Structure formats: structure tokens, C-alpha cells
């Protein structure tokens, strides 16, 4: 099993599938949020904080934060390695590409940290 | 010698599915840049009732409200366009005609979403 996963990781299939799975998780979560917002639009602080006190929402907020983190790190890696290359923007790519990819990791960890902060 | 050395996206006329695809990336970068600040705002507004009122005041600012509307629209476009990509991953909508129609559908649905969002919030 471990070697199988390792092989999947090497071929990129693991990443390919996981990017889609994390996308679906986010799609469901934001559909629920949008539905909640459409049903009671003029909410006050009590309703908003009450919504994020629901256990299933709290759990999924953390799961979605992790999903966004993974999805964005993969996505920014794709964009950065496509456009921030020496052929496209010259020598500055050498510095800019690792900087952007590094920032995506910072952003990802920040999102996960914030999602735990919401739990209280 | 006349053949291009690489694809310069500013010099080639992109077909509709191509525009849809590149907008998926542009919206991705926009969401990426704004996601952590917006998450910070959500955490701040949830921290106490007084802080929530501060965020309500922030939304009175026309510049921030415009930025937020564009952020939400970018998320919706990325969502719809992502669904289209997901359908194509499963092997449907892969003909030229289906690609064009579904690309157009992402633009139209995003336009409808944008105006209904403005109608509901402004």
C-alpha cells in the first residue's frame, strides 16, 4: 500500500485526484454557506457566530481550510511553473518562482491556522 | 523561422474555451491573493461583537465592497469553470461544440451571478 501510494505520488496521479477531491469538498461547503446566506441574509453577530458554533460546520471549516491550502499550493505551483520560467520572464524567474511558491505555502499554513482560530 | 518559439498568450487569438481556461487561472490567482486577508477578516469579525461592528463599517466602504464583490464573483467563476473541467475529466463535453457552449455557459452564469449578487447586496 505504501509503495503503491509512493508510485502514485511519483506519477502525479495522486496529486491530480486529490486536487479534484479538495475542489469538490470546497464546492459543497461554499454551496452550503451560500444557501445559508440566501435563507437569512440580514444576520447579526449572534447568528454568524452561532453558525460557526455548529459542530459539523466547525469540522468542515477546518477540512475546507486544509483543502484550500492543498488546492492552492498545487494550483500556484502549476501557474508558477508555467509562466514564471526563464523563457517567459527571463532571469528574474530564478528568484520569483521560488518566492511565489514559498508564499503559497505561507498562505496555506496561515489559512489552516485561522480555521483553528475560528474554533475558539 | 516564422514559427513562434513559445505561446505568447497576448499575441494569439484565444477561442472561447481558451478564454474560459485562462480566466480560471486568473480567478485562481485573484482568490489566492485575497483568501488569507478575507479569512483574517472573518476570524476578526467572529472574535467579538464590537469587532463584528467594525467589519460592518468596513463593508460601508465602497472600495472594499467592490473588491469583495469581485472576490465573490471570482470564486463563483472558479467554481463554475471548475465544475466544467470536472465534467471534462470524466470524458463528457469534449467535442468542439460542447466546449464552446459550456465555455459560454460559464460566462453567462457568472454574469447572472454578478448582477444578482449586486442586486442582493448593494
In a domain? residue B2: no
Give me the pLDDT at residue A11, please.
Answer: 73
Query: Residue A97: pLDDT band by 50, 70, 90 thresholds?
Result: very high
Identify the contact set of chain A against chain B, taking CB-CB distances under 8 A.
20, 23-24, 27, 30, 41, 45, 48-49, 52, 65, 68, 72, 75-76, 79, 87-88, 104, 107, 110-111, 114-115, 117-118
Residue of A nearest to B31 (CA): A72
In angstroms, the CA A67 to CA A112 distance is 9
Residue A98 corresponds to which cell in the numbers above? 521560488
Give me the pLDDT at residue B81, please.
Answer: 94
Domain CATH for B97: 1.20.1300.10
Residues B80 and B110: beta-carbon distance below 8 Å: yes
Helix (H, G, I), strand (E, B) or coil at A9: helix
Whether pLDDT at B26 is above 70:
yes
In a domain? residue B39: no
Give me the pLDDT at residue B61, please.
Answer: 92
Flag if B45 and A48 touch (Cβ within 8 Å): yes
Query: Residue B122: pLDDT band by 50, 70, 90 thresholds?
Result: confident
Q: Given B43, B79, B86, which is nearest A118 (Cβ)?
A: B43
Chain B residues within an 8 Å CB radius of A24? 86
Closest CA to A113 of A72, A55, A64, A62: A62
ipTM of the complex: 0.86
Cell 482560530, residue located? A117
Flag if A118 and B42 touch (Cβ within 8 Å): yes
Q: Does B57 touch chain A (CB under 8 A)?
A: no
Flag if A76 and B46 touch (Cβ within 8 Å): no
Which carries the bigger pLDDT value, residue A64 or residue B2?
Answer: A64
Give me the pLDDT at residue B6, please.
Answer: 62
In a domain? residue B97: yes
Query: Residue A10: pLDDT band by 50, 70, 90 thresholds?
Result: low
Domain total in chain B? 1
Domain that holds residue B108: 16-32+61-121
Cell 463563483, residue located? B76
In a domain? residue B10: no
Give me the pLDDT at residue B88, please.
Answer: 93
Give me the pLDDT at residue A120, please.
Answer: 67
Whether pLDDT at A5 is above 80:
no
Domains by residue range for chain A, with CATH: 2-118 (1.20.1300.10)
Give me the pLDDT at residue A71, please.
Answer: 94
Burial (CB count within 10 angstroms: exposed 0-12, middle 13-18, buried 19+), residue A113: middle
Q: What pLDDT digit, counting tens, does each position of B43-100 carry?
A: 999 988 999 999 999 999 999 999 999 999 999 999 999 999 999 999 999 899 999 9
Residues A85 and A50: beta-carbon distance below 8 Å: no
Q: What pLDDT digit, counting tens, does each position of A34-93 carry?
A: 998 888 887 788 888 888 899 999 999 999 999 999 999 999 999 999 888 888 888 888
Q: Does B35 touch chain A (CB under 8 A)?
A: yes
Which carries the bigger pLDDT value, residue A2 or residue A15?
Answer: A15
In a domain? residue B99: yes
For residue B21, the surrounding DSSP H or E stretch is helix B16-47
DSSP annotation of A17: H
In angstroms, the CA B69 to CA B64 distance is 9
In a domain? residue B76: yes
Give me the pLDDT at residue B80, please.
Answer: 95
Residue-averaged pLDDT of chain A: 88
Give me the pLDDT at residue B1, please.
Answer: 52
Q: How many CA atoms lie within 13 A of A71 on its CB side?
A: 26
Amino acid at each position: 500500500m505504501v509503495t503503491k501510494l509512493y508510485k502514485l505520488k511519483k506519477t502525479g496521479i495522486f496529486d491530480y485526484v486529490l486536487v479534484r477531491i479538495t475542489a469538490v469538498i470546497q464546492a459543497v461547503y461554499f454551496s452550503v454557506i451560500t444557501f445559508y446566506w440566501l435563507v437569512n441574509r440580514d444576520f447579526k453577530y449572534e447568528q454568524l457566530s452561532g453558525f460557526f458554533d455548529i459542530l459539523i460546520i466547525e469540522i468542515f471549516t477546518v477540512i475546507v481550510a486544509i483543502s484550500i491550502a492543498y488546492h492552492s499550493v498545487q494550483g500556484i505551483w502549476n501557474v508558477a511553473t508555467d509562466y514564471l520560467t526563464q523563457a517567459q520572464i527571463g532571469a528574474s524567474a530564478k528568484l520569483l518562482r521560488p518566492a511565489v511558491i514559498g508564499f503559497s505555502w505561507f498562505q496555506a499554513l496561515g489559512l489552516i491556522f485561522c480555521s483553528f482560530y475560528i474554533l475558539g | 523561422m516564422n514559427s513562434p518559439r513559445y505561446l505568447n498568450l497576448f499575441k494569439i487569438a484565444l477561442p472561447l474555451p481558451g478564454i474560459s481556461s485562462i480566466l480560471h487561472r486568473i480567478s485562481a490567482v485573484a482568490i489566492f491573493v485575497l483568501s488569507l486577508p478575507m479569512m483574517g477578516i472573518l476570524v476578526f469579525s467572529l472574535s467579538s461583537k464590537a469587532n463584528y461592528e467594525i467589519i460592518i463599517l468596513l463593508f460601508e466602504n465602497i472600495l472594499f465592497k467592490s473588491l469583495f464583490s469581485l472576490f465573490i464573483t471570482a470564486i463563483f467563476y472558479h467554481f463554475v469553470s471548475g465544475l466544467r473541467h470536472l465534467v471534462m475529466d470524466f470524458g463528457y463535453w469534449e467535442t468542439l461544440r460542447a466546449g464552446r457552449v459550456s465555455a459560454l455557459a460559464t460566462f453567462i452564469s457568472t454574469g447572472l451571478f454578478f448582477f444578482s449578487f449586486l442586486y442582493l447586496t448593494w
